[in-house]
Homo-oligomer: A and B are copies of this chain.
């Protein structure tokens, strides 16, 4: 498995959806950092299902127990391990997975990879539930980063075709960051919520699901951070963000749309601001040039595919009997994980940033 990430800050993620517990070890945290666990739990609640009408109905307590590396509210410098017990393990929800791999799920690929020995209940180690660990670690890191002047925020850039107002690429306000960091359905323009929920509700009504895009920014990183060619901002953030299940694309700054621009349109001109700091007027480069921070906000978007689990009947294969068959995934499913992906992607970014500093 490759559930270990990082170099300066190493995380090791473990657990299976319906096993005893999930958890994470974070190795390399600086010592002496106060961590407000209540704030960590608040971030985890943003990801948790059940608290929002868009989300999956499965309820989880998701209260992590910190086993090590944390004493009297402060990091000790030793590895910090947090464990979240699994309490809601109705594995009956996911009946015929073994013989019939669910389309767009990892079932088949994992079956081959692990010779059928992997825990398939609820997706096992591949379950979206594992992202609770990422949010835990990310929330810890974000408190440390905030103390160093670095803020991370994300929003639902789009669901289906319905778009939020994009982030101002040259920087967003501290108020907006704070507001977004507290929301379960994070939007720059809250008036777009209705249209988005409509798209989600329609998918749900049809037993279908729907994807979207999350936009994320990291503000406050000084210029000169990151290592070309393979230790750059984009490499490290992409490697972390692709660890979030369902992410199938990432772009920095103007990204794919920049690739159809002219240089004169896409190049960001430099200027000295009123404080004598070098800045760019626009931020098509997304905060990184040659892999190194420019001092402008890092900005990226991640494509989140529609949730694979749908109750609409789909064609698949019966591995046992070696013949084609059909499958309808029973139970209630989260038709759109994009809102809950927001804190996960912020967290993956935070973990990546800790490895860049």
Spell out A's residues near B (CB within 8 Å).
Answer: 1-5, 7, 10, 12-16, 19-23, 25, 27-28, 31-32, 65-69, 71, 74-81, 83, 101, 103-110, 112-119, 124-126, 130, 158, 160-161, 203, 206, 208-213, 222-232, 234-236, 238-240, 242-243, 245, 247-256, 258-272, 276, 278, 280-281, 284-286, 288-295, 301, 303-310, 312, 314-317, 319, 322-324, 335
Tell me the smallest distance from the CB of A130 to a CB of chain B, in Å.
7
Q: Which residue of B lies closest to A335 (CB)?
A: B263
Give chain B residues whose Cβ lies under 8 Å from the Cβ of A23: 67-68, 81
Q: Is the CB of A286 within 8 A of B3?
A: no
Known A10-B12, A79-B1, A243-B229; contact A292-B109, beta-carbon cutoff 8 A: yes
Please measure, in the bound complex, the distance between the C-alpha atom of A308 and the C-alpha atom of B262, giving whole angstroms. Answer: 9
- Contact among B76, B249, B319 for A250, CB-based, below 8 A: B249
Q: Is the CB of B15 within 8 A of A12?
A: no
Q: Is the CB of A252 within 8 A of B248?
A: yes
Give chain B residues whose Cβ lies under 8 Å from the Cβ of A4: 4, 10, 12, 27, 230
Give chain B residues whose Cβ lies under 8 Å from the Cβ of A213: 256, 259-260
Q: Is the CB of A3 within 8 A of B211?
A: no
Known A238-B238, A242-B235; contact A76-B208, beta-carbon cutoff 8 A: no
Q: Which of A67, A68, A103, A112 has the most CB of B within 10 A?
A: A68
Q: Which residue of B lies closest to A245 (CB)?
A: B290
Q: Is the CB of A278 within 8 A of B239?
A: no
Known A76-B16, A78-B118, A113-B225; contact A249-B259, beta-carbon cutoff 8 A: yes
Please measure, in the bound complex, the distance between the C-alpha atom of A115 and the C-alpha atom of B292, giving whole angstroms. Answer: 13
Known A31-B114, A305-B254; contact A208-B14, beta-carbon cutoff 8 A: no
Q: Is the CB of A294 within 8 A of B228?
A: no
Q: Which residue of B lies closest to A22 (CB)?
A: B68
Q: Is the CB of A285 within 8 A of B104?
A: yes
Q: Is the CB of B227 within 8 A of A2?
A: yes
- Contact among B16, B108, B248, B266 for A104, CB-based, below 8 A: B266
Please measure, in the bound complex, the distance between the C-alpha atom of A271 and the C-alpha atom of B327, giving whole angstroms. Answer: 12
Q: Is the CB of B249 within 8 A of A255?
A: yes
Question: Which 10 pairs between the two chains have the least Cβ-Cβ distance?
Answer: A2-B231, A106-B290, A249-B251, A2-B227, A112-B224, A209-B263, A78-B125, A109-B292, A12-B12, A77-B114
Tell me the smallest distance from the CB of A232 to a CB of chain B, in Å.
7
Q: Which residue of B lies closest to A85 (CB)?
A: B67
Q: Is the CB of B259 within 8 A of A303?
A: yes
Q: Which residue of B lies closest to A158 (CB)?
A: B260
Known A248-B252, A259-B158, A264-B312; contact A235-B228, beta-carbon cutoff 8 A: no
Q: Which residue of B lies closest to A288 (CB)?
A: B109
Please measure, in the bound complex, the distance between the C-alpha atom of A245 and the C-alpha atom of B285, giving whole angstroms. Answer: 12
